[in-house]
Structure 1
């Protein structure tokens, strides 16, 4: 174990490596940082903060999602309230119509939200549902100046091309956790299927977004593995969700990790993925409460705003005000185009 002076020197060398030489840290070096963090967490938090400042200054980008189809999912992910395998009380919702999506979009027009995504439950959409989603994306693309993302389950190359043509620029599919821990959260599909979808999206020309959920019983080593697997896929953005234990799911009694462990997780993801957009996503309000502000000192440069799929988030206006009070510059605005 390194003493304090050795730890300080090691952290300085890592910062120089990442910031000046733009060389990625390896797995063993990350484990050393984690060991340092157990005794001197501020060294690692400051490292992450400095890396974020170097690549992104004081900016932060916002994204918002709309649940375009909810419930009746055939998959058995243990964290999810939408699975038919669990006994959750949620409102089932068939595929959304254009007018309700636009109604939601109009409600976030006044706020500086950079990206907007439709999210659907289930393994994948059927062909008819997919064509209807394409119509919605095409309309938004022609009428709103906002970056469009999609989270529609598993994907084929043909469908990826259609999404790109409809104006979608980024595709999302979370790995959820490390490949070695995935068996503990789902048995009805493999993580490899997720990776294949991300590869298809990337090869088609879409950017890719993938992250996971922390506090599902995994340890920090598994989280570090996830960060490296995301780096190997060369994802463009990484949403980090914190489990919100929902009654009726197998994880309803899961204990949430403490705030300091959340902060350290965020910091290590920034260090492993220095140039990527790392977003604090679902579950942050429930897990962090008044301590959420501290999370934005841990190297992240993105935030999901508004409500989630089946749980509530902080109002967008309040979130933007909070972020700006921290001295963060929120990027971009949605604007309705005038033709």
Structure 2
């Protein structure tokens, strides 16, 4: 079947019948030549508008406890197992967290995520989060998300009851590739935490990291596995190789290939919030606006956990230039 026919069939399924594509159909689209990527991106943009609407959600993130993580995620400079330039720091104090939340809100963001470099929260960390979350929400008037690693059922219940709006726990990559990325915990532990988040009524933010050496087939596998946990939001990260980590010498994803996969994740997860996240600046360079018209409908503004993003003003100007309104894409507590 020709490229044009494959894209036309996908359009009929997603826009006319409002049905999901099969993984086999996504694999066929993944095999299209590079010359078809702009057409694929255009369809993904139409799917985003039809399934999610025109609004773009803006979020700020704060690394409230940086470095010293005991896990060996091979892409991460916060692991205590690797010789990197990231030093372990204690949990930020309350005033620092509140100031960061206030700055995020001033940018027009509707979500503020508190991120901790831990395997999972101990009781002291749980108490700190349960103190901070309602304080930030009530004083700043912004939804609060948390990323604190692997959860037990009891911890998920307490965070939900404590006012956490959205919990971030990334699958990162396909189950079949995961052992090449992390050895200190399993993909199934991550998958179970995602299920607990959903079970206890929090929104699930479950991201991916592309460019670690996974195959095309494993990226399609990952889309199928994301469908199983039904995330509200999927951050799209591209590997930004960190010196001192096992993946520090991996090449960047090519810009046009990044656009292809943004589009494919939108076509595979048509109703999800698809968020621009880490690595987009170095991967896409001058094509970042094109990504916004290839299915993206949310973005992190400002800096990431251990790497610099571009200025929030640049991103807000990009949205204004594209006539993309900033809005809230999920339930608000």
Give yes or no for TM over 0.5.
yes
Which residue, out of 311, 324, 329, partners 2:325?
329
Contact 1:112-1:332 at 8 Å conserved across structures: no
1:320 corresponds in structure 2 to 316
SS at match of 2:20: coil
Q: How many angstroms apart in 2 are the aligned matches of 1:157 and 1:178?
A: 24
The C-alpha deviation readout for 1:245-291, integer Å capped at 9, x for no partner, is: 11111111110121011000000000000011011101111222222
Partner of 1:294: 290
- Is 140-149 or 114-123 further displaced after alignment? 140-149
The SS at the match of 1:328 is coil
Partner SS state of residue 262, structure 1? helix
Where does 1:130-169 land on structure 2 (aligned, <5 Å)? 130-169=126-165
Shift of 1:37: 4.3
The runs of 4+ residues in structure 1 deviating greater than 3 Å are none
Whether the aligned pair in 1 keeps the contact of 2:68 and 2:87 (CA below 8 Å) is no
Structure 1: runs of 5 or more not aligned: 334-339
Q: Secondary structure at the match of 2:106?
A: coil
Q: Is the Cα–Cα contact under 8 Å of residues 149 and 170 in structure 1 kept in the other structure?
A: yes
Match of 1:190 in 2: 186
Query: Aligned to 2:165, what secondary structure does the other structure show?
Result: strand
1:276 aligns with 2:263: no
How has the CA–CA distance of structure 1 residues 9 and 290 changed in structure 2, closer, same or farther, with 3 Å as cutoff? closer
Instruction: Give the counterpart of 1:305 among 298, 301, 312.
Output: 301
1:100 has 2:61 as partner: no
- Offset at 1:123? 0.5
* C-alpha distance in 2 between matches for 1:57 and 1:209: 19
Length-normalised TM-score, structure 2? 0.95
Deviates most, 37-46 or 12-21: 37-46
The equivalent residue for 1:237 is: 233
Does 2:202 correspond to 1:200? no
Q: How many pairs were matched up?
A: 329
Q: Equivalents in 2 of 1:268, 1:312: separation in Å?
A: 27
Is residue 10 from structure 1 mapped to residue 12 from structure 2 by the alignment?
no
CA deviation after TM superposition for structure 1 residue 109, in Å: 2.8
Shift of 1:70: 0.8
Structure 1 position 225, deviation (Å):
1.4
> Which residue of structure 2 lines up, in the alignment, with residue 336 of structure 1?
none
Distance 1:23 1:235 in 2: 17
Report the equivalent of 1:23: 19
Q: Does 1:119 align with 2:118?
A: no
Q: Deviations over 1:189-217 (max 9, x none)?
A: 00100011111111111111102111111
75, 81, 103: which one aligns with 2:77 = 81
Counterpart-to-counterpart distance in 1, 2:253 and 2:278? 15
Report the alpha carbon displacement of residue 36 of structure 1 after superposing the two structures with TM. 2.5
Q: Quote how far apart the aligned CAs of 1:184 are.
A: 1.0
Which secondary structure does the structure 1 equivalent of 2:56 belong to? strand
Aligned-pair RMSD on alpha carbons?
1.5
Deviation at 1:39, TM superposition (A): 5.0
SS at match of 1:225: helix
Alignment check: 8 A CA contact 2:209 2:237 kept: yes
Deviation at 1:332, TM superposition (A): 4.8
Residue in structure 1 matched with residue 50 of structure 2 by the alignment: 54
What do residues 267-321 of structure 1 show as CA deviations (whole Å, max 9, x unaligned)? 0000000011011101111222222111111111111111111111112222111
Superposition TM-score, scaled by structure 1 size: 0.93
CA contact (8 A) 2:171 2:190 kept: yes
